[in-house]
Structure 1
């Protein structure tokens, strides 16, 4: 894997890459943009250098961006999409996971446990992207501009685990209905719990294990209470970036082209790179691997710990695939409907070699 220091110098990279639209062709434009929580790797290494650096610099100052984080505004989840549709902000970035209730197709690219590596996820997102773009326009009234993941959600345990069989009867913190269905299918007991309650709950034995990102779990000091890290990837936290439809239509074509090109060439690639780094470094640092670089996901520096890494065997992987296809996808197909499932089969299903049965 290439050095993470290259990822962290993304602002410098943005400044030297050529841009498609010449600055003199871009009229003066002011945009309001809402991004992910401040001080997150996604904010610091992806969104902020792009909107505060690459876009104004590449347009020779013609595009001025008023950038603020969702945490500074005190909004999250469905509120973000609604703010965009209402025109409170011109452009908004957020998580598809947090707005799955607004549009069932959001779950199509991140069904719990279905995708275990980021390259396959990229193929899944690319295949389903035209469907999401159409649905975002038609159902949510926004213009989709890009998609990229945050990083893999993995399993942290405070009790010994050697394989998936050892999860039987364990109490596992979950964060979504499909994750809950997967945990139950593996013989464990799903428990809904807030993120900040996990560490004391593990300490008291209220829960045995919990899912969260390999990076976020490490930075939140789950390494102080967990003993085993199971590389079972249940979600990737795919992000979206969308524009208010009316704002977008009012923009000059040169501005539209410039923003679309720069998002595709710079913002999305840096997001995918950051997700890869966050996933791998979170694991490496948590288990004491020599490849650990604690500052790789700055500003949330990682802690080098000595958890036991549990990797899925071929038998575990096959069991996981059966659990997902037999127990988890029904949650998705029921919510999505016949037409949605048919679109999934023709896109994601072809990538994964899986065909789902739609529920009437």
Structure 2
């Protein structure tokens, strides 16, 4: 979208696109029932999605403004490929259509702008996981099978198939987003070598906000998790939750809302703003802000499809996905505190998400003792369990590549 477009023109575009999106969902009512953001439709009749439509319209408009009006004019952009045969790309990226990673980055950049940016060479079909009735572990499998060309994968959810993926963001490992990004970039060549046997290649990393606890009942320290059922995305979070006496439960992200609502689980771990986007504040009352992980994820492609692309198209996509990556990291850095402020009902501090005005959540900041306990669990429980799942060579890789950045070493037991 050109920066010179008028405010009115942009509003008109966003409204038109939002109506088209709503019509598409309503035309697929059976599949829409599985969509997390349209959960109310199952209780109030098919396709009653007024609140979702309005939030989508607003989020889309803000995302377009930020990308079109406020981007630095001097920012280098990937040049388009030369004229040639059109390329259609099937993409499934985020775990919910209502989270900022989707509304503020993926939709504008991977659906609305990529065609013009590629000189008309590329068209995309973009969807979120629930729109394709997929869960995290499914992504690497459908990508490997060639059913989609590009996927956004939350790494802990696919670590069951590729345990080495857990190495980037293990529970208690990264003290910041920045540290997690350094580890991800250092590990990229090794991870892509590992993924070759799955026919998959990572082309970019991106973060979610700090992964924290959303709970139905009060949590003032990790000791309160003893005996509680806690939904995790898998991997090292399971090890950590068990180490403090909790019971990890595997539930796909689209089903977590109802699991919390019905008391199937007592708590669930996700990003501060991710839980806000998924409206977990409606089914939980307490937010414990210990950053168990930083939710580092990856955009990955089907390797055979990637290698078949014309070299100029592949080069454009590699460069363009790095632009997407930068936009996601910038957003991720802003979302942790924004999610806390939005969930707690602080309108002044809530700039990106939805401010909770009806029954705002009770926020408890992590105690220094729990921060230390999390770090201790990394060395005593999480790292040994990771090596047990992944194999001795993974411990060697950790000490050679990750340890110089994390400051923690694996000691064979």
Task: Give the TM-score normalised by structure 2.
Answer: 0.73
Alignment: residue pair count: 346
Give 1:303's aligned residue.
Answer: 356
Q: Quote how far apart the aligned CAs of 1:253 are.
A: 1.9
Matched position secondary structure for 2:268: strand
Q: Over residues 311-347 of structure 1, what are the superposed CA-to-partner deviations in whole Å (9 max), with x where a residue is unaligned?
A: 2233321121112221122221111112222112222
Does residue 159 of structure 1 match 2:251? no
Shift of the 123–215 alpha-carbon distance from structure 1 to 2, 3 Å rule, reads same
Contact 1:15–1:58 (CA<8 Å) still a contact in 2?
A: no
Give 1:94's aligned residue.
Answer: 153
Q: Quote how far apart the aligned CAs of 1:124 are.
A: 2.1
Contact 1:151–1:237 (CA<8 Å) still a contact in 2?
A: yes
Choose which of 293, 307, 317 in structure 2 pairs with 1:259: 317
Matched position secondary structure for 1:66: strand
Shift of the 316–103 alpha-carbon distance from structure 1 to 2, 3 Å rule, reads same
5+ residue gaps, structure 1, are none
Give 1:282's aligned residue.
Answer: 339
Shift of the 313–26 alpha-carbon distance from structure 1 to 2, 3 Å rule, reads farther
Contact 1:182–1:328 (CA<8 Å) still a contact in 2?
A: yes
Task: Give the TM-score normalised by structure 1.
Answer: 0.83
Give 1:199's aligned residue.
Answer: 260
Distance between the aligned counterparts of 1:270 and 1:184, measured in 2? 35
Give 2:408's aligned residue.
Answer: 354
Q: Quote how far apart the aligned CAs of 1:224 are.
A: 4.4
Give 2:120's aligned residue.
Answer: 61
Q: Over residues 220-264 of structure 1, what are the superposed CA-to-partner deviations in whole Å (9 max), with x where a residue is unaligned?
A: 444345443211122333322222223222222222221111211
Q: Over residues 281-302 of structure 1, what are the superposed CA-to-partner deviations in whole Å (9 max), with x where a residue is unaligned?
A: 11111223454326x14xxx34
Matched position secondary structure for 1:347: helix
Give 2:65's aligned residue.
Answer: 9
Distance between the aligned counterparts of 1:42 and 1:101, measured in 2? 24
Q: Quote how far apart the aligned CAs of 1:201 are.
A: 4.4
Distance between the aligned counterparts of 2:361 and 2:130, measured in 1? 31
Q: Quote how far apart the aligned CAs of 1:38 are.
A: 3.1
